[in-house]
Structure 1
């Protein structure tokens, strides 16, 4: 009986340790990455994978050899009735978060299967009339973005 109790205790201990080592990004706040830099592959990867259509991200390139620094994001497999609208919304939303969180990101290129968009921090901030680095919460930034995603003229102005 003692041997069985030891095995059970040891099994539970291993289970608890394994469970404690397992982490998920599902509950991670994107603003935990605020202040990241383009050169931090891990931080940028965590950011872009948590943004809309992150599951369709097939890879990204960090351009850090010369300023201005930027990111190229490659997507595939996004399906939607209004696919061009979906691409535009993804580009605007994701670029806004990247510029708010990654200090030295100056441009982002979005490569979809049949469409390419490039957004710059300067142009996006000009369109919003706000410095994106001033935002400190996801909710506030989402509210700002939503106003632009709802209006076709504003979406076109940004892109």
Structure 2
């Protein structure tokens, strides 16, 4: 897919957890979409959250990188989401990560809602993902990491 064909995910910037369409349209354009199996929005009481399920049994992607990458996009674009849980069914076990906005912003050292263009977000992701040890440290702090 050429860059001109890539969807402008920032058109969903400012969406809320209650906007199922904006969230699904974002998720289906992020890594792992071919393995995405479901979504559950937690909107009855704060803190608001999103649970994303994936069938990871045939994926060659890193579930760790996918969780952090996708959470970064969602926290940047969805104003009122406080936490995101990723459930990766690997076929032999379940890998689960729950990341909070606060945790990710502390890890990056930047307020994600303040990023308003995709190039800046991609550069933040690239510089952070070059340090795998740093990624592991973040995910070890994930409350539901299994």
TM-score range, shorter chain: 0.7 to 0.9
> Are 2:113 and 1:137 equivalent residues in the alignment?
no
Matched with 2:30 is 51
Deviations 1:6-31 (A, max 9, x none): xxxxxxxxxxxxxxxxxxxx542000
1:86-125 matched pairs, under 5 angstroms: 86-113=62-89, 114-125=94-105
What TM-score results when the alignment is normalised by the length of structure 2?
Answer: 0.85
2:50 to 62, 71, 93: 71
Hey, which of these two has a bigger chunk of strand by percent?
Answer: 2
Instruction: Could you tell me which runs of 5 or more consecutive residues in structure 2 were left unpaired when the two chains were aligned.
Output: 140-146
Matched with 2:135 is 155
Hey, which of these two has a bigger chunk of helix by percent?
Answer: 1
What TM-score results when the alignment is normalised by the length of structure 1?
Answer: 0.78
Contact 1:36–1:103 (Cα < 8 Å) also in 2 = yes
Query: How many matched pairs?
Result: 130
Deviations 1:131-152 (A, max 9, x none): 0011111111011111221212
Instruction: Could you tell me which runs of 5 or more consecutive residues in structure 1 were left unpaired when the two chains were aligned.
Output: 1-25
CA RMSD in angstroms, aligned pairs only = 1.2
